[in-house]
Amino acid sequence: MLAELRGLNEECGVFGIWGHVDAAQISYYGLHALQHRGQEGAGIVTKDGKKLHVIKGEGLVNEVFSGNEIENLKGNAAIGQVRYSSENGRGIENVQPLVFRSTTGSLSVAHNGNIVNAVELREHLERQGSIFQTNSDTEVLAHLIKRSSGSLNQRERVKKALAMLKGAFAFVILTDDGLMVAQDPNGLRPLSLGKMGNAWVVASETCAFDIIGAECIRSVEPGELIIINDKGLHSERFAPAADSAMCSMEYVYFARPDSDIDGINIHSARKRCGKQLAREMAHIEADVVTGVPDSSISAAIGFSEESGIPYELGLIKSRYVGRTFIQPSQELREQGVKMKLSPVRQVVSGKRVIVVDDSIVRGTTSKRIVRMLREAGATEVHVVSGSPPLVSPCFYGVDISTDSELIATNRTVDEIRELIEADSLTFLSPEGMLKAIGRSDSMKNCGQCLACFTGEYPTEIYSDTVLPHKKEIV
């Protein structure tokens, strides 16, 4: 139920460090900072010069590492992941980092994103004799690396394997000899490089650097492979950079407000989106503006400042509700929403309320919020979305894989308004969103992926549920 309340879920967050005596402990804090990107599993793998050590499990970071387990993770290098999994991807075997051991050397891999040609690659590898142990796209990369033929060295095998992947991927790869970091050619998922004293660190979001006291150096570039070892840091390309297409929902929803992506602060970008939304919205008389916590607060503040309508905390999110996925009845499911989110009656009672949300996905949560505000005494409820309508599925790591899950698909704004029972409904325009976020306007779509808003995908989509044909891997 709480997963439904959250609306959208991103696949995971990754972290890596090289050259620090407390690599495992620092990774723990880094993953804790990335916990919002995945709550179903967590893991850390370290390298002590002789072999790879791994601890992983299902649950939150502090649940997986609840005792003294982390003291057993020896070494000065580590990678880690926090994971959100789809229904088919649950189970301890899919929790990352994945570890692969062979007579030619060990390898550990963690991944953020989704490889759109993973099924075709897996079928190709199975025909060649590979046997898979997980449902994860990540395992495909490991098999491609190990099955590279000829006299290629490990770096060349990794580059060859990465070049075969299509879709969104930010990889951290720990080997016997070094740490490798790779970003897909479109840069669909965020990945940043930092420095902590003499140690190198990498993370899905820069908020992890703030927690551990590291300096952010730069974003990992699309199509770039970074190799970090005892000789230092070396950068090269495994593929030419394609049109930059950072996921727009990172700015709208996924990333923490204190993170920066490509030099743009998330809180500031969302606040500008709120201001732009107020400019685009038809004039409505209202008494108070509130945001749906937590990701909509920045946009609500911006909307309030631009419109002149006072901002108030009209909705409160409980910090102490456990992770609950099974509710025995509709009545208890509704109660679960109220446990997670509740209105401040004295703020909204007798008021015309504008409620700012970051996005509207299935519409079920929006409808419940509107009803809760009315039950708390709001005389009018006007819903505004800090992003355009989501009309197309995502194949790059967000858990919206069919357009039937999206309320905006094949519906007008007024039809959506009726379904969520709001007095009015306004979406931010795609042009307004791009302008407000503030990425370079010299790039296509300002360097952002708009697929969920427009249906135009930055990469080829291989799934036969989307295209009438399927490309064969040869």
Catalytic (active-site) positions: 12
Element housing 53 (H / E): strand 52-58
Please provide residue 434's backbone torsions phi and psi, each rounded to the nearest 5 degrees. Answer: -60, -40
CA atoms of 122 and 141, how far apart (whole Å): 10
CA atoms of 83 and 359, how far apart (whole Å): 22
Report whether 405 contacts 391 (CB < 8 A).
no
- The partner residues of 260 in beta bridges, in order of sequence, read 265
CA atoms of 222 and 184, how far apart (whole Å): 5
CA atoms of 355 and 314, how far apart (whole Å): 8
Q: Which are the contacts of 431, defined by CB distance < 8 A and separation ≥ 6?
A: none
Strands 315-317 and 341-343: antiparallel
Q: Which are the contacts of 437, defined by CB distance < 8 A and separation ≥ 6?
A: 248, 251, 264, 269, 272, 273, 446, 448
Alpha helices in 34-175 (DSSP H): 61-64, 118-127, 138-146, 154-163
Q: Which tokens hold the place of 212?
A: 């551990």
**If you search the block for the tokens 């009315």, which residue do you land on?**
374
Q: Which are the contacts of 96, defined by CB distance < 8 A and separation ≥ 6?
A: 12, 41, 43, 56, 81, 83, 109, 110, 111, 136, 138
CA dihedral 358, 364, 367, 373 (to 10 degrees): -70
DSSP-based three-state secondary structure for 266: helix
DSSP-based three-state secondary structure for 135: coil
Report whether 284 contacts 351 (CB < 8 A).
no
